[in-house]
Amino acid sequence: MMFSWEVLQTGASTYTVLARFIFEGSTQVGTPTEANVIYSVQTPVSQADIRIFDSTNSLTIAEATNLSSTTEVIQSLGAVSNIPAGQALFELQALEDAAGFVRLFALDLL
């Protein structure tokens, strides 16, 4: 599943929902093994955390922390886990330290 948009951004210091999508469940679409985003942060001293969160089951699916690229880069969100068998609402969430904001441009869930 590939999702892209013009730009989503947050400067919040707590996780903020930037996008929501329905994951149909591993019995319908298989089990993703990789999650990548395209992101950048505002300043070199900024750091961001980005995750995919299953809000139906309150579980983190994949997450990368302490991200600090000021240019758009493809970033793996690390190991994918906690994939539900049935339908669930997934959220793309991000948080940024107090120094700036994070921009998200795309999500690829393979």
- pLDDT tens across 23-67, in order? 999 999 999 999 999 999 888 778 899 999 999 999 999 999 999
First CA to last CA distance, the chain:
6
pLDDT of residue 24: 97
Q: Quote the tokens at residue 72.
A: 């758009």
Q: Using CA atoms, how far apart are residues 97 and 36, in angstroms rounded to an integer? A: 21
| CB neighbourhood size of 31 (10 A) | 12
Q: Which residues pair with 63 in a beta bridge?
A: 51
Q: Which is nearest to 89 in space by CA: 65, 60, 54?
A: 54
What is the residue extent of each domain of the chain? Answer: 2-109
Model pTM?
A: 0.92
Return the CATH fold of 2-109.
Answer: Jelly Rolls (2.60.120)
